[in-house]
Structure 1
Amino acid sequence: MNKTELPAIVWLLDDEPQVVESLQWLLQTVGLETCTINSALELLNLPLDQQPGCLLMDVRMPLASGLDLLQALKKQKILLPSILMSGHADVTMAVRAMKLGAADFFEKPFNDQQLLDSLQAAIASHRLALTKQQLLTKLTQRYAELTEREQQVMLQLICGVQAKKIAANLNISPKTVDVHRHNLMQKMQVNSLAELVHAAMLLGLPLAFSF
């Protein structure tokens, strides 16, 4: 099964057992699976991007704060969204959390429905991010499988260069350009030039050509 189709999981990290228990009960009432994390070290070693989900953690914890963990996750390029909670929140803390990439910030006690809404939005964004990541991985593999000549033709095609001009630029015949175009379109698994351009944009290829 594609990992984006797996059920969502909410990772819980809070050093207060009563808070964790209460959150587990709340999330289970709406059918969300939960997994309790016992330490910052455990969190940083988990496969957090293997299925859609969200991290829900407290700001103030022993050893490493929620803000420290946000920074560490950002450094590891983890896509999983994080929602922070605090019983002693202030504006500065909330602003810093959001600058570090937190999806949301809640002060305890929080409104249950608002938290659930925020979690569902974060999970949806993570599912989309994982989908894009998988697509980019596939496109990168497909592009790498093109021959050097096919890549040369593709780089000009996506910039709107006509077949005759491509042929002149590469010192090959227009018919050979057409063959390369057919082959690269098949390898990239696209059906039109517009789809090829979209794939190129996702790959970060230049859309301006100079020969």
Structure 2
Amino acid sequence: MEEQFILRVPPSVSERIDRLLSDEASTSDEIPLDLCFSEDGRSGTFVIGNEEFPASLLDLPAVVESYKTYDDCALVKTADIGQMIMVREAGDPAPNTVEYRHGLTPPMKDARKRRFRREPDLNPELVQRVERDLLNILSGRTIENGNEQQQEETVANENTNKKVSSTSSPATPVEKPEEEAPETGANNNNNPAEVEQERSESEDSDDSM
């Protein structure tokens, strides 16, 4: 595949280029042709002879196929052309955008506005709802059942979150009732005679050992 582009020039420049490409150009003085662009790659200068013309690189609204033939019967595709270099007179204004409005043929006049539909303004909520419906269909659920199940899952998740938050919150301390001392110990401590008897028994056991 070759790299090609469309060169559109004013009528005066077109006549001079035709003379250069004709058979008589070999006998005439050679006229230099040059095309240079600036750093942005969109604006440049077209030079023919001693004259300079401003040029702009524009994007066509559609891709144009280029063919060539050697026997006027078989066509061979050589390139896909999507850009055009427009050469204009020095006083003509430069194009505002890099996208050219028109095509190369009369039916493609103002093609970007007449033949290309505008991008629709979509609601983000509608896009999310359609996305959920598609996921439900792919998972084998119907749209209504899928929405109900999603709502149930959402409610269940909210309930679990509430339970987790309630368990994670510090519990209020509960006052425990005072434990009563065992009766035996209390009675032994309150009866001094029994205490003395226990002491004497322990002393007798020590003497016997």
Bigger helix fraction: 1
**Structure-1-length-normalised TM-score:** 0.26
Give the strand-richer structure, 1 or 2.
2
Larger Rg: 1 or 2?
Answer: 2
